[in-house]
């Protein structure tokens, strides 16, 4: 068993961080990804990392930590130590109501972060998990292409729609839908087209309209001259508009109609927020996302004692507090602290069972408050009165 690798299912943030940790310490692993390449999907667009940054630095080799700026959406702002204010605005008046403080905060491109974390990692691409077999001393992962791999531990880092989670918990793996509709789009704007919005915050801001309860999330995905392949004079912007199901507004099928709906819903907003949406080109792709969440419960038994959920597969959260990636990173740190990957005896059935149970308790104690706050923030974002009364949407993000 000592020669068997750790099997990592999923080359997202948590899977790649775990792979880097194992590689750094000379521990055998194999990592599998259903996609064909690192940039096959750009879901998530941008990520905000805050309280997980110390854990990330602890897990990664120094040469990758030194390269973090390669992932920043605004290297200039980060270089001057600007963590942003993440302001919340009344979109009727345009007045700022809240700042969300952070001792340290960086905004990164999800694709660029994954590219950095994949440095030197041999990823098995086009690998969709089909099934899992277990013996007392090993676990076998079977894939749709007919291949199989044997390991001493299987770390399920395969995200919100985790196939591993479906296998482990066939009766309770389904995501929990929330009563919110969301449309998201990304586009390039010149400084003039930004209408001064670039001066609000170098990374992100949000707001809601007190009469319509329609919500805005805005973030920069890239800024002029940020990288060699960045635009020389335009900002790459992400705009999200969302509303409660109770409004009874159906989501159109076509992107053009979705863009038209976004403009209709935001026509009564104050500037510059109104124009940020109204200027979206008609041919912009608008994604419709049904918001959902899910969290595991410690101690729930399954047939594969050498399998463990990590990151979004264990706790899928809404985007409204930016807690998902931060929890996923700290999951990896908790896992390697509870399971000494360098000691063969750590993988004896009895020792591993105790270690994984302790890991699950650690994760749940930390992640459940983040999960519940993220859900509440999602609901509050679409009921303005709740926000001004005090909501997790505008509260500080801290490690529990």
DSSP three-state, residue 333: helix
235 is catalytic: no
258 Cβ neighbours under 8 A, 6+ residues apart: 183, 185, 251, 252, 286, 288
Contact by Cβ (8 Å): 295, 275: no
Look at the chain and count its residues: 400
Residue with tokens 């801290």: 398
287 Cβ neighbours under 8 A, 6+ residues apart: 183, 184, 185
Which of the following is catalytic: 29, 215, 236, 359? 215
In sequence order, the β-bridge partners of residue 106 are 49
Q: How many Å apart are CA 193 and CA 198, to the nearest integer?
A: 10
Q: Strands (DSSP E) along the chain, which ranges?
A: 6-9, 29-32, 46-49, 88-90, 96-98, 106-109, 123-124, 129-135, 138-143, 148-151, 153-156, 176-190, 204-208, 215-222, 234-244, 286-295, 307-309, 315-316
Q: How many Å apart are CA 5 and CA 235, to the nearest integer?
A: 44
Q: What are the C-alpha distances in Å from 315 to residues 162, 248, 323, 352?
A: 11, 29, 10, 22
Taking alpha carbons only, the member of 91, 95, 388 closest to residue 267 is 91
Q: How many Å apart are CA 213 and CA 380, to the nearest integer?
A: 9
Residues marked active site are found at: 215
């Amino acid at each position: 068993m000592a020669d068997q690798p750790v099997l990592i299912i999923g080359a997202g943030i948590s899977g790649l961080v775990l792979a880097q940790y194992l590689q750094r310490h000379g521990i055998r692993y194999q990592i599998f990804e259903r996609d064909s390449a690192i940039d096959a999907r750009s879901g998530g667009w941008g990520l905000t990392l805050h309280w997980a940054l110390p854990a990330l630095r602890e897990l990664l080799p120094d040469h990758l930590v030194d390269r973090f700026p390669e992932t920043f959406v605004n290297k200039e702002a980060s270089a001057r130590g600007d963590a942003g204010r993440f302001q919340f605005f009344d979109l009727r008046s345009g007045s700022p109501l809240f700042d969300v403080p952070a001792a340290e905060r960086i905004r990164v491109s999800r694709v660029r972060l994954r590219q950095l974390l994949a440095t030197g990692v041999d990823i098995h691409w086009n690998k969709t998990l089909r099934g899992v077999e277990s013996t007392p001393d090993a676990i076998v992962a079977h894939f749709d292409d007919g291949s199989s791999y044997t390991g001493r531990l299987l770390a399920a880092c395969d995200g919100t729609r985790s196939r591993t989670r479906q296998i482990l918990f066939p009766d309770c793996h389904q995501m929990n839908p929330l009563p919110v509709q969301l449309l998201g789009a990304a586009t390039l704007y010149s400084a003039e087209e930004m209408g001064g919005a670039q001066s609000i915050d170098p990374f992100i801001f949000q707001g809601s309209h007190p009469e319509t309860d329609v919500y805005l999330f805005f973030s920069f995905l890239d800024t002029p001259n940020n990288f060699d392949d960045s635009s020389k004079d335009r900002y790459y912007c992400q705009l999200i508009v969302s509303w409660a199901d109770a409004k009874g507004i159906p989501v159109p099928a076509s992107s053009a109609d979705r863009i038209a709906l976004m403009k209709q819903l935001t026509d009564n907003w104050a500037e510059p927020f109104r124009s940020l949406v109204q200027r979206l080109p008609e041919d912009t792709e608008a994604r419709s996302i049904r918001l959902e969440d899910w969290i595991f419960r410690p101690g729930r038994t399954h047939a594969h004692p050498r399998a463990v959920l990590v990151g979004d597969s264990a706790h899928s959260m809404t985007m409204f507090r930016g807690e998902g990636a931060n929890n996923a990173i700290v999951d990896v740190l908790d896992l390697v602290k509870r399971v000494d990957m360098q000691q063969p005896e750590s993988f004896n059935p009895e020792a591993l069972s105790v270690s994984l149970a302790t890991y699950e308790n650690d994760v749940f104690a930390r992640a459940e408050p983040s999960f519940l706050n993220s859900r509440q923030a999602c609901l509050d974002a679409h009921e303005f009165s709740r926000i001004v009364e005090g909501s997790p949407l505008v509260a500080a993000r801290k490690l529990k």
